Structure 1
């Protein structure tokens, strides 16, 4: 029996989400947890288990965006007992909702659908998302002058995110229609995937390039909340130097990245928001080109498949 169109698109969104989350830990990104480098009291297995648990509610076509976020966070907490993916879920739930119906013909069509999803968010979506945030209890959240997550929101989810857009890169995507993900994340990923060389090395380099591109351009929100904007800017400066070398075609030795990774983790600096943006960019790419997701089974080998980028 042929599956209903809604189910087909939910399956495509789920596959893209799981592929992106697998890449998140398969590619060693300085400061983040990966298969070859645990850190911050977490392992790659926690992230993989979290993604598997979160995928069904995140892509449930019967749920509104806020409910998807809340149920996905609850599913994550049940298996991980810590916050492994709140930012990822906040970013990916609208993408999954935008994938419903016929496949988008191109990136602009998907972006227009996302804009429709974001414009249709409600106060109920905000209330569910706030409950999810409280449940995940992200470190360094602090207090906000308006629509603080400690109290039920009185505006829709996009309006609430707009209030936080100046201080949080995830919230900024809700405000600007995911402009950073399409203009920077997807563009950088596709450019490196189209380069020459063995496919696993290209994929590894592409994900790392997206991560460094975001980190170079935007001081990481998670670091800024926990350690201050100056610390976040210092990390961005280092990322900018590496990204320039990568874009110039230079090989960055794996040990050089490993040293920076160790330094970041020793100082408790985790560019977690940058990783969230990278995952969401990869999910968009996987939604637009489902053939990419066939690589998910081989992706874990990427963490040890090359000596550098």
Structure 2
């Protein structure tokens, strides 16, 4: 029987191995500076941080340690957003069986200023794309990493407070404020899908992208580009193209990679859904 931390690492591996996931690294596609093997190495590096979450350590400490380990490979940021979802879910699962939205809500509601500081320190370990903050929030710019912790402490912001300030522009942060709504939806869809877990991951990724524009794409490119990508995914998902016209989905995947459009938030949600489904026994590997 796998431990919580092992299921979390397996979820990260299954997510990146799902193919095709348009615009993202998968078994057959690398990005310009980020490869499939970087994701494998990054997952190995998360081990101790995920174990800390399993052991009941504070979310901020466990997250920072997981990110530090993840970053010890040559590609840079592979799973920062996924870990921001999976770490609190592991912490919730350590005290709740089965893992539920209510248990996850309790964990994030209990986060502290120290947890927020751990989140900020995680930015010292790896570069993460973040929008420019407004002038009044510049002292709290997460890209300052540990240098911003004094301002964070002065304002007495918990990690949940930090996440709430990032909504609606960041759908990973949105999960913290909605009981991990889309993560649990992804888990339901994974359980209902057919085939190997990697095929299910690809199908669920496409369905999530189809129903809501990816916020990373919106931030990096524009909201109109994000909507266009989502509309194209919806057209493919509506006609079950992974089964009926897989070449069309492969073409979509290649096109997004060539254009440098990366729906990374949708991949993060898929990883979180995989962990929930694995932990609750609804997907077996």
TM-score past 0.5 threshold = yes
Candidates 192, 206, 211, aligned match of 1:212: 206
Q: Which residue of 1 aligns with 2:7?
A: 16
Q: Which residue of 1 aligns with 2:101?
A: 111
Q: Which residue of 2 aligns with 1:164?
A: 166
Aligned CA distance change for structure 1 residues 204 and 73 (closer, same or farther; 3 Å): closer
Q: Does 1:176 align with 2:178?
A: yes
Q: 1:38 is paired with a residue of what secondary structure?
A: coil
The 2-side partners of 1:226 and 1:257 are apart by 23
The 2-side partners of 1:291 and 1:281 are apart by 10
Q: Which residue of 2 aligns with 1:303?
A: none
- The alignment's C-alpha RMSD in Å is 2.1
The 2-side partners of 1:206 and 1:84 are apart by 21
Deviations along 1:38-58, one digit per CA (max 9) or x if unpaired, are 123221111011111102212
The 1-side partners of 2:217 and 2:13 are apart by 23
TM-score using structure 2 length: 0.87
The 1-side partners of 2:80 and 2:132 are apart by 16
Aligned CA distance change for structure 1 residues 212 and 127 (closer, same or farther; 3 Å): same
Unaligned runs of 5+ in 2: none
TM-score using structure 1 length: 0.81
Counterpart mapping for 1:1-309 below 5 A: 12-28=3-19, 29-60=21-52, 61=55, 63-101=57-95, 104-105=97-98, 110-144=100-134, 146=137, 147-149=140-142, 150=144, 151-152=148-149, 153=152, 154=155, 155-182=157-184, 184-193=185-194, 199-200=195-196, 203-246=197-240, 251-289=243-281, 292=284, 295=285
Deviations along 1:37-84, one digit per CA (max 9) or x if unpaired, are 112322111101111110221231153100111111111112245011
Distance apart, 1:252 and its partner CA: 3.9
The 1-side partners of 2:122 and 2:107 are apart by 19
The 1-side partners of 2:31 and 2:168 are apart by 28
Distance apart, 1:142 and its partner CA: 2.3
The 2-side partners of 1:290 and 1:12 are apart by 16
Aligned CA distance change for structure 1 residues 237 and 49 (closer, same or farther; 3 Å): same
Aligned CA distance change for structure 1 residues 19 and 272 (closer, same or farther; 3 Å): same
Aligned CA distance change for structure 1 residues 225 and 66 (closer, same or farther; 3 Å): same
Moved over 6 A (4+): none
Deviations along 1:102-125, one digit per CA (max 9) or x if unpaired, are x614x5xx2221111111000110
How many matched pairs?
A: 270
Aligned CA distance change for structure 1 residues 291 and 177 (closer, same or farther; 3 Å): closer
Unaligned runs of 5+ in 1: 1-7, 194-198, 296-309
